[in-house]
Structure 1
């Protein structure tokens, strides 16, 4: 019983509604869908700015969609991540106002994208980021555009897995820069939550035996060295749901031009996600430098 409860909390889909749309922010957009290499249909928005530079945003996992996080339906856990809804359209708006087009999409098992089995914390979702990049690079109006990646938590895990495991990534010459927001592996997350070992072990056993999913181990960390574009890492140093040494290891393993921005925010993981939409300068400065 305990194993299923832990497993459901960590990898069960269906907790990430698309709760608002770009028209609320007066952003011009179109609804788009595209397929992954393993035939999963992904749903998203293409916010049409200039055609010379595009940002692809990949959201965090389980309780998040392309537009962010809503407390609605989260019950007793609604304040665990953050004290209010998190609006990723805030950063879409300032990116658009500064000349960028923005692709915001739901990873598989999130939002309005196809539901398959279980959230894999980036392993299978790596194919989603490849599909998103391919979708943009194959569009005629963006064939000469520079592409930046705004990859958040599980979104950056998926992106890092893609750099290391998907050969097609090497062919995307339009990729110019990435911002990696709060990288986090499954192992460090469950330990930081303070769960006793017997619960962690029970959840891991249930994942493996009942759901054919193994999230233990180094996860994406061995693939950080394969990232080939300049990368800014952003991390709230007061985040209680991570291991800061792991974040430092991620940064140290980067072999490209890089920077690390430590934030001094409230002691909640969601503080950095909320900060992202309200502090455009570091984001724009990084992307403007390379795109």
Structure 2
């Protein structure tokens, strides 16, 4: 029982119904869908910024979707008290002359499940990032692309650089903003769950996914990232290990910057910050995209 409960918390898909819409933010958009290399249909919004400079936003995992995160439906105890609307940063980016692709990763929002019908924390979702970049490239052959990759989105993007025929072979990608990349093992350690509960959950998740969640390590793929990368991290985040963030940053072999935020003691504070203060983060794209 404990194992299933813990595994559901970590890898159960479909916990994030879509709650926001570009129309409510005055944005011109179209609903789009595209397929991954393994045949999964992903759905999203292509928001018109009037140019073929395109930011591809990849959200964080499990309880999130392309629109962001809402506390509704998660009970009285939540890590953040209000909606985190990713369309705020999209609106800012449109104002700066970018078009924006916001899409749901497999098992999230309105996208389909993958052949492995669970959230893998990046190894499977890496295929989604590649498909999103290829979709933009097909629509805008001369596109200059920036990747805004949040938490599991940052992990997925990094894994996508490590794949054969992955993002390293897409020369139209010009820059990355990686917000709070997180290894599964660091998250579990930071939660401080009793060992027997952790082990029980990992046993169930391994049966579901077909691999040990503690084994994949996207830091191993960080040296394969080939474009300037800004790493954004709340230094007061209680759900990570700052040493892991530093290891990721040091593994990057490109022009890079580590932006440490001094926010309240919540991981979600940084997710909210990028929408509340987009000018403080998105300038990285202005330099390179």
TM-score, structure 1 as length reference = 0.96
Distance in 2 separating the partners of 1:250 and 1:270: 20
Q: Deviations over 1:37-88 (max 9, x none)?
A: 00000000000113231000000000000000011111144x22x2211000
Asked whether the equivalents of residues 66 and 103 of structure 2 are also in contact (C-alpha less than 8 Å), the reply is: yes
Asked whether the equivalents of residues 168 and 224 of structure 2 are also in contact (C-alpha less than 8 Å), the reply is: no
Other-structure match for 1:7: 7
Other-structure match for 1:41: 41
Q: Say which of 171, 195, 198 aligns to 2:196.
A: 198
| Offset of residue 199 of structure 1 | 0.9
| Offset of residue 214 of structure 1 | 2.2
Secondary structure (helix, strand or coil) at the match of 1:18 reads coil
- Does the alignment pair 1:160 with 2:131? no
Gaps of 5+ in 1: none
Q: Say which of 254, 260, 285 aligns to 1:287.
A: 285
Q: Which moved more, 1:67-76 or 1:237-246?
A: 67-76
Other-structure match for 1:132: 132
Q: Which moved more, 1:279-288 or 1:56-65?
A: 279-288
CA shift in 2, pair 1:172/1:210, >3 Å: closer
Other-structure match for 1:28: 28
Asked whether the equivalents of residues 123 and 216 of structure 2 are also in contact (C-alpha less than 8 Å), the reply is: no
| Offset of residue 213 of structure 1 | 4.1
| Offset of residue 3 of structure 1 | 0.6
Q: State the superposition RMSD in angstroms.
A: 1.1
| Offset of residue 218 of structure 1 | 4.9
Secondary structure (helix, strand or coil) at the match of 1:20 reads coil
| Offset of residue 289 of structure 1 | 0.3
Secondary structure (helix, strand or coil) at the match of 1:108 reads coil
Secondary structure (helix, strand or coil) at the match of 1:75 reads coil
Other-structure match for 1:208: 206
Q: Deviations over 1:1-47 (max 9, x none)?
A: 11101000000011111101000000000000000000000000000
Distance in 1 separating the partners of 2:261 and 2:219: 22
Other-structure match for 1:101: 99
Distance in 2 separating the partners of 1:252 and 1:83: 34
Other-structure match for 2:72: 72
CA shift in 2, pair 1:108/1:214, >3 Å: same
Distance in 2 separating the partners of 1:119 and 1:52: 31
Distance in 1 separating the partners of 2:183 and 2:150: 12
Q: Which moved more, 1:214-223 or 1:92-101?
A: 214-223
Asked whether the equivalents of residues 120 and 213 of structure 1 are also in contact (C-alpha less than 8 Å), the reply is: no
| Offset of residue 211 of structure 1 | 4.6
Gaps of 5+ in 2: none
> How many correspondences in the alignment?
287
Q: Deviations over 1:138-165 (max 9, x none)?
A: 11xx211210000000001100000011
Distance in 1 separating the partners of 2:132 and 2:186: 28
